[in-house]
Amino acid sequence: MSAKVFFIGAGPGAADLITLRGARAIAAADVVLWAGSLVMEELVREHARDGAELVDSAPLTLEDQRVIYERAAREGLRVARVHSGDPSLYSAVGEQIGILEEIGLPFEIVPGVSSLSAVAAALGCELTVPERAQSLILTRLEGRSPMPAGERLRDLAAHRATIALFLSAGRAAEVQRELLAGGYPVQEPCAVVHRASWPDELVVRCTLGELAERVREAGITRHAIILIGPALREAGTRSHLYDPRHRHRFREVVG
């Protein structure tokens, strides 16, 4: 079997939210490199084959991971690189792909259930409600790495769309200030979901004006997504898709 790396989205946390393709890729791997701080160990041990080498990436640097990839290329090993959520969002997959391209090691990305999907499920809501919320902005608060031009939180808030904030719960007061400065009213509905789909999942609902205080009271500093905007408002509208007056290729107009 030729050497290859599979970047696998393990889902938001719950062990049974990994895809079938992801589970099969882990089962076929010689080395399973997994993010122990974000992915349940139960999930990895359930799907890894007997004799597979299990490596927790939490204490590793990118250079440490390169050593593993170089060994895989030399020895013809298959590596399952298991990330939380979906590899396309805040996973640092891009820098690893750069290494694999230098080495000449083939790779494949296996999509996963995003933590954002688990957050919406925990809240019991649709994030794209007809005539109320048709745009969703995924972003984060500026940290050690500067944000690209035009992507500061207060700039994005000016759109007044629904915003999902990753990697920002530990700075809720700053999030609150930036959103208010961008034009959201203090009564705009917010929700914070900590460790969505994990056994200790915690949901906090509040207004923007209460956000910093409620997050502080809950003791949430990481592993959470903040949602704000019109998708969380109570009043809903009906889509045209299932309206009896709306015809499409699978259904004629009724009446």
Assign residue 119 the CATH number of its domain: 3.30.950.10
pTM of the model: 0.88
Residue 164 lies in a domain: yes
Measured CA to CA, the distance from residue 67 to residue 62 in angstroms comes to 9
Closest CA to 188 of 150, 155, 228: 228
Residues 97, 136, single domain; the answer is no
The answer to whether residue 3 scores a pLDDT higher than 60 is yes
SS3 content of the chain, % helix, strand, coil (to 5): 35, 20, 45
Assign residue 82 the CATH number of its domain: 3.40.1010.10
Residues 143, 103, single domain; the answer is no
The CA-atom distances, in angstroms, between 239 and each of 70, 141, 162, 231, 253 are 52, 33, 18, 14, 15
The answer to whether residue 86 scores a pLDDT higher than 60 is yes
* Domain of residue 47, residue span: 4-110
Residues 101, 188, single domain; the answer is no
| Alpha-carbon Rg for the chain in angstroms | 21
Residue 240 lies in a domain: no
User: Considering 110, 129, 157, which residue would you say is the last residue of a domain?
Assistant: 110
Residue 162 lies in a domain: yes
Q: What is the pLDDT of residues 9-34, one digit of tens each?
A: 999 999 999 999 999 999 999 999 99
Residues 20, 96, single domain; the answer is yes
Measured CA to CA, the distance from residue 74 to residue 36 in angstroms comes to 26
